Amino acid sequence: QPFPKEEIYGLTSQMRRASVSIACNIAEGQARNSTGEFIQFLGISRGSLAELETLLLLSKEMNFLKEENYQILSADCEEISKLLNALIKSLSTRH
């Protein structure tokens, strides 16, 4: 079953905000004056990604999200996590 009408402004809204936060914190951190600040904002992006992963899992457990869709989105989150971690590691060695 799809997300119920009342969840359109609940879980789906939270997922949208978490997703946007990931990208916006990367952009904001990159625009900062120091590598340390960039790394800090990448950490915030990781937190938003963890929030998104949790919301996806909850959606699957409540049967709002099909298993196959969950697996695709979860794999996307894992790939983003690897990229963020690699960028943080790379910046940390230069910092």
pLDDT-based confidence at 71, cuts 50/70/90?
A: very high
Residues 6+ apart with CB under 8 A from 2: 64
Triad 29, 49, 60: Cα angle to 5°:
165
Domains of the chain: 5-94 (1.20.1440.60)
Q: What is the pLDDT of residues 4-62, one digit of tens each?
A: 777 666 899 999 999 999 999 999 999 999 999 999 999 999 999 999 999 999 999 99
Cα 90 to its chain centre, rounded Å, is 20
Helix axes 11-30, 35-61, angle to 10 degrees: 170
Q: What is the pLDDT of residue 34?
A: 96
Q: What is the pLDDT of residue 5?
A: 72
**pTM, two decimal places:** 0.90
